[in-house]
Amino acid sequence: MIRLFTLIIYLVTSITATYAADEVDLELVIAVDNSFSVNRNEQGIQRRGYANAFSNPALIDRIESGLYGKISVTYMEWGGPKDQVQVIPWMIIDGAESAATFAQRLRSIPVRRSNETSLANALLFADNLFPANPYTGSRKVVDISGDGPNNSGQRVAVVRDLLVSNGIVINGLPIVIEGKVEEDELDLTSYFADCVTGGQNAFTLPVRAWNGFETALLRKLTLEISGLPPVGRDVMKVGLVHRASFEASSDCLVGEKRELEDYYKLLDGITGGKHKRWRVPEEIWPTPK
């Protein structure tokens, strides 16, 4: 009887230990824009920014202070509708050694580039990465950066809603640096907040200067790892964090409409405006207003 009881205790302890070994505080997909609008120097700044952030002792302390003391992270880059690459597969970060491994791998892999900007398809790709993660987190987050609106592929607001319904939080890191703003002065921060981010405690944190990228990124990752709501007098004072809104003030199709307008201009220039049969049917795509 004693042996049976001991065996039961052993089995329960083993199962519990195995289950806990597969548990993490956070499953994090880092999705970085590598379209041609982000030049090689700027892409390098992004790569170094993430590598340096995960080398920061404060961020490592934040990871270790979680319930399980570890998170699962994967790093992907994206561009057009069919151009997404998982640069670093899922790996555990549970302290300085694993964080250094992640940072070193990030620094050593060549930067790639691609055409177009499909935030929507990048989110879909990120969504499909979670089932392949061998670790289970109490929270799932996609950290997505970008320097322009969705202009190809699926509709970003529709995809955002799909991920949120799957229990995934999407946080945005729009790059709103001078010289990258479109002619009509698109408020990219509001666009991200209205059309891209979503989920419990979702937020948008803009990068306003490349020399401030690492500071903004470290703040963003700290918020995501802690799981705390991005609120507080200090946050509002510096004006960095904007909560996602369910009442969009932005046109979530602004990028697609721009692409359509550019197509029409090119078509009219070639045909003198005479060949209307090549225009996109109204029922497929409404005329930009």
pLDDT at 232: 45
227 in the same domain as 123:
yes
171 in the same domain as 132:
yes
Task: List the CATH number of the domain containing 67.
Answer: 3.40.50.410
Dig out the tokens for 81 from the structure. 């509708």
Q: Which domain holds residue 182?
A: 24-252
276 in the same domain as 150:
no
| Residue 6: pLDDT over 70 | no
- Cα within 13 Å of Cα(238), Cβ side: 15
Task: Count structural domains, the chain.
Answer: 2
137 in the same domain as 68:
yes
| Residue 234: pLDDT over 70 | no
241 in the same domain as 259:
no
10 within a domain of the structure (yes/no): no
Q: Which residues, 6+ apart, have CB-to-CB distance to 255 below 8 Å? A: 117, 148, 149, 150, 151, 152
Cβ atoms 195, 250 nearer than 8 A = yes
- Mean pLDDT across 211-219: 90
282 in the same domain as 195:
no
| Residue 116: pLDDT over 60 | yes
35 in the same domain as 174:
yes
Cβ atoms 158, 123 nearer than 8 A = no
pLDDT at 88: 96
Compute the mean pLDDT over every residue in the chain, rounded to the nearest whole number. 81
- Specify the 3-state DSSP secondary structure of 132: helix
9 within a domain of the structure (yes/no): no
Instruction: Determine which of 48-62, 182-196, 231-245, 269-283 has the lowest per-residue pLDDT on average.
Output: 231-245
Closest CA to 153 of 282, 76, 256: 256
119 within a domain of the structure (yes/no): yes
158 in the same domain as 218:
yes
Rounded to whole angstroms, how far apart are CA atoms 177 and 169?
Answer: 25
pLDDT at 72: 98
